[in-house]
Copies of this chain bind each other. A is one copy, B any other.
Amino acid sequence: MIVLANKYGKKTWLIPDCFLHSVSKNEQVSHEAICVLNTSDTDALIKLTLFYEDRDKIDDFEASCKAGRTHHIRLDKLTSKSGQKIVRDTPYAILVESNTEVVVQYSRLDTSEVEMALMTTIAYPVE
């Protein structure tokens, strides 16, 4: 008998408040993560489109999350297909699009002061 895994979540998620701080005053670097949970039997190919306040959107960042796995995508470590890193100290927003259902949570660690701050939210899912 084949038991198929449940596919939970949605294929499209949005996160309006993104910001990569350039300052890190303790051993943990200031960073953001797009945390993806893929409970399905299909590997997830994930496209990230970045929106800015005063320049055109960038749509050549990609990531993945294997079937039955999570991937905490570190945005400070991500490189686009054209070899770019995400610009720090600049307000931006992210549209997350997956080829299979996933759940997405956004978190930020800020160590611009020695004692860090954390924030998190489940991203906004498109029904």
Contact-size category for A: 35 or more
Determine whether the beta carbon of A113 is less than 8 Å from that of B112: no
Determine whether the beta carbon of A70 is less than 8 Å from that of B95: no
Interface 1/0s, chain A 33-74, versus B by CB < 8 A?
101111100000000000111101100000000001111100
Q: Which of B35, B118, B122 contacts A93 (CB under 8 A)? A: B35
A113 to B11, CA, bound (A): 36
Copy count, this protein chain: 4
Please tell me if A116 contacts chain B, counting CB pairs below 8 Å.
yes
Q: Which of B15, B28, B37, B57 contacts A51 (CB under 8 A)? A: B37
A: residues with CB less than 8 A from B are 8-9, 12, 14-17, 19, 26, 28, 33, 35-39, 51-54, 56-57, 68-72, 91-93, 95, 103-105, 107-110, 112-126
List 8 interface pairs A-B (beta carbons < 8 Å), by A numbering. A8-B14, A8-B126, A16-B37, A17-B35, A37-B95, A70-B93, A103-B124, A120-B121
